Amino acid sequence: MKVCAILPPFLPIEDIKRTAASILPDIEIITDLDFKTNESEVLIATTFTKIDKQVLDRFKNLKFLQIASTGYDNVDIAEVKRRGIILCNSPTSNKESVAEHVIGMVLYFLKDFKFLDGELRNGNWPVLTASRDLKGKTFGIIGMGAIGKRLAERLAVFGAGIIYYDEYRLKEETEDDLGVTYVSLKELISASDIISIHVPLTETTRGMISKKEFESMKPGCIFVNTSRAEVVVTQDLINALKSGKIKAGIDVYDREPPDFSSDLFRTENTLLSPHIAGVTIESQGRFIEETVSNVIRFLQGVEPLNRVA
């Protein structure tokens, strides 16, 4: 079977080609869609390429689509199902990276790093600070998939109390192993000192955090979103930040690159990153390994892992 990979040009394409070719010698790696047709039966893509009907029309023989990412909301799933194409993702490759990114954002606020750094750069030597410990804080995790679970495991050593909400509750023994307590979304929002979102973008999760939820949060709550921007109503987030009630670590935006004239970029109580929480040198290596491994499973007639459609 012919295998094709569509990758964004900013990735280290030559390095990826060398790595992939050692396992799949005939793989074709492209960086744009400037062609009419492609005969490949297997397609590898990232979330940076929209896989819609127009793109699928160019791959008339496509049987298997592997998204090298946890998210796959760039794919027209209905069209993929209609054509009988198998769709898989890579849900665990970046769990370490995202969990660490979240904790880094949280510690930035708790330890008052911005204030302390600014004081020293201005020639001051503060003897008091509003710095706080993570130990003893109530940490709410919305979405207990691979990333949510890894975050909970990492938080355990900090001594935080971990509560979570998910559409599907974990088994009791899994909750015990992770040291987490299941609560309703309403209770999590009102009880947490820190909230981190780890849900996929679906019609159920779209806009699940809006004005009502922000109004229910504790004053000073640290809110982190590394999942998808559309899970949160952006204007309601901006209003909550402007009021000074919450602080926020944001890694995802309604449009990427975002509208830099947005008031979000004028708020003082935010820490912003460019949708890069899951992007580390190590995670990219894992994505390549897991993606190619899953493609090989399909080529060998073995049921691929992490099938979503």
Instruction: Confirm whether 167 is a catalytic residue.
Output: no
Cα 293-69-21 angle, rounded to 5 deg:
40
Instruction: Confirm whether 228 is a catalytic residue.
Output: yes
Is-contact 53 76, C-beta < 8 A? Answer: yes
Q: Which of 101, 198, 228, 286 is catalytic?
A: 228
Distance between CA atoms of residues 92 and 151, nearest Å: 12
* Integer CA distances (angstroms), 134 to 104, 137, 178, in order: 11, 6, 17
Instruction: Confirm whether 198 is a catalytic residue.
Output: no
Nearest by Cα to 70 from 97, 43, 95: 95
- The token duo for 208 is 């699940």
Q: Which of 39, 167, 256, 282 is catalytic?
A: 256
Contact partners, residue 131, CB within 8 Å, separation at least 6: 110, 111, 112, 116
Contact partners, residue 231, CB within 8 Å, separation at least 6: 197, 199, 201, 205, 206, 207, 208, 209, 225
- The token duo for 157 is 């050593």
Query: Could you list the active site residues?
Result: 228, 256, 275
